[in-house]
Structure 1
Amino acid sequence: MATGGTRGVWGRFVRSRVGRWFGSVLHDYAAAASDVTSGARRRPGAAALTVSSVAAAGAAAATVPSAESFDAAALDAAAALGLLSPGTRSPDADRHVQRLLRRRATGRLRYRDLVLAAVVYESPRAAGAAAYAQRCRYLRARWWEAPRRLLDVGFLGRWWVLRWRCRDYDVNEREFAALPERLRRLRRHQLRSHPQREGVRRQVPARGGAEGGAGR
């Protein structure tokens, strides 16, 4: 009896207007899925590219950094610079971090989530200000001033401008201003010992080992 009642209710639902509408929607989705499958079989390269693009976009959207992470990164950079003496800090890194801290203290930092990335920019005035210059639309910041007001770009879980500005935060380039230009930059191969010197070092026995062998 219960089975027959259920079939009767289901049959009436399928024959109703709402049931026919759901059936047509399911039919359209099934046809679209079939077309996508057949198209992927005909052009596997394009299908792989599309799937990779969608996956990359999803990963970027899932790892967009938050406003709290920017505050934490700026404070961490300020703490790292505070451990150094003024003579050893990078002027560029210190100037950028101090600018961020001043905008943060006055409430002029703005965060905007752009789905795939995030941006932090400065506002001419603090949030919630009721001054006339803030309320008048003719005195607000113009769109062409956006590049100058942009402070950082967040993508894939990192704030890239802050990371780039603080890459050598413990190197003061002014200390090397008196050196010739060829001595101001070190290339990667110059950071390693010369191969011939390393070979000589391996050939010469340690002092303690030589004395030990002579003693024996």
Structure 2
Amino acid sequence: MLRIFRKAPSAFENIQAKIKFPEKFKGTILEKWADYWKNLFIDYRQMLQDLRSDVQDEPIKALKWTAGIITATALAKNNPTETDFKDSLKRISNEVALVNEDCLNPKSVGHIRYLAMCYNEEVLHYKNFGLVSVMYVKDLNDSCDLYKAHCSYMQPTYLSLPSKIVDVGFMGKWWNLYIKTTNYDVNV
């Protein structure tokens, strides 16, 4: 790959020497447009040459950056969506419905019922932060037009926001739902 970077400057200079801009377009917007793209290409070529020299000078640092970028990309690609949360909730609700009530874990069933109630009241919301997704509960749904919904003094504070988080999605899984419903069929 480094060979490509070494050959690119000479190849570009050869092409630039062969292509001449016609006299009738000199001083027009087309010449300015062509100069813009030529300068942009030169800037990117210089950036790639600097990158090549930086990689050769500090290969460990380049490896760390590459690993970090690949990890962040993998996390972002596997970030669960609200649809994944709904599917997981429906799947676990269906599985719980098949188990006898004497065998059910009351904490798991209570958590599932709470989430279903939040969906019915339309107070459960989804937020994507790129690498991590969050399901959180609001006090009122968006269609509510009470005084409490508009008064700035009655809005939640930043310190109360962590208590509103219901679930955190990371690496393709909603972790709180997974942890609380793993042993749904073990009555403790």
The answer to whether the superposition gives a TM-score over 0.5 is yes
Superposed CA offset, 1:163-192 (max 9, x none): 11111111112xxxxxxxxxxxxxxxxxxx
Larger radius of gyration: 1
Aligned to 1:187: none
Q: Which amino acid aligns with 1:120?
A: M
Number of residues paired by the alignment?
A: 168
State TM-score, norm by structure 2: 0.81
Paired position in structure 2 for 1:161: 176
The amino acid of 1:119's aligned partner reads V
User: In the aligned structure 1, how far is the partner of 2:22 from the partner of 2:111?
Assistant: 69
Q: Residue 47 of structure 2 aligns with which residue?
A: 32
Name the structure 1 match of 2:154: 139
Note the C-alpha offset of 1:20.
Answer: 2.4
Alignment of 1:175-214 (within 5 A): none
Q: Of 122, 143, 159, which aligns to 1:107?
A: 122
- 1:107-147 Cα offsets, whole Å, 9 max, x none, are 01010011111100001012211111112222122221111
Counterparts of 2:107 and 2:183, CA distance in 1: 9
Write the distance in 1 (CA, Å) between the matches of 2:30 and 2:138.
Answer: 60
Partner amino acid, structure 2, of 1:60: L
Which stretches in structure 1 are left out of the alignment for 5+ residues? 1-5, 174-216
Please point out which of 70, 75, 85 is paired with 1:55: 70
* Aligned CA distance change for structure 1 residues 23 and 172 (closer, same or farther; 3 Å): same
User: Do structure 1's residue 89 and structure 2's residue 100 form an aligned pair?
Assistant: no
AA aligned to 1:157 is G
RMSD: 2.2
Residue 208 of structure 1: aligned partner:
none
Counterpart in 1 of 2:84? 69
Q: Distance in 2 between matches of 1:129 and 1:9?
A: 66
SS in structure 2 at match of 1:65: coil
Q: Which runs of 5+ in 2 are unaligned?
A: 1-18
Residue type at the aligned position of 1:20: D
For 1:98, the aligned partner's letter is R
TM-aligned CA deviation for residue 26 of structure 1: 1.6
TM-score (norm 1): 0.71
Identity rate, percent = 21
Kindly indicate whether residue 180 of structure 2 is the aligned counterpart of residue 149 of structure 1.
Answer: no
Query: What letter is aligned with 1:102?
Result: M
Question: What do the CA deviations read for 1:153-212 (whole angstroms, capped 9, x no partner)?
Answer: 111211111111111111112xxxxxxxxxxxxxxxxxxxxxxxxxxxxxxxxxxxxxxx
Q: Tell me which stretches of 4 or more aligned residues in structure 1 moved more than 4 Å.
A: 6-15
Per-residue CA deviation, residues 41-85 of structure 1 (Å, 9 max, x unaligned), is: 222221111111111111111222111111111121111112112
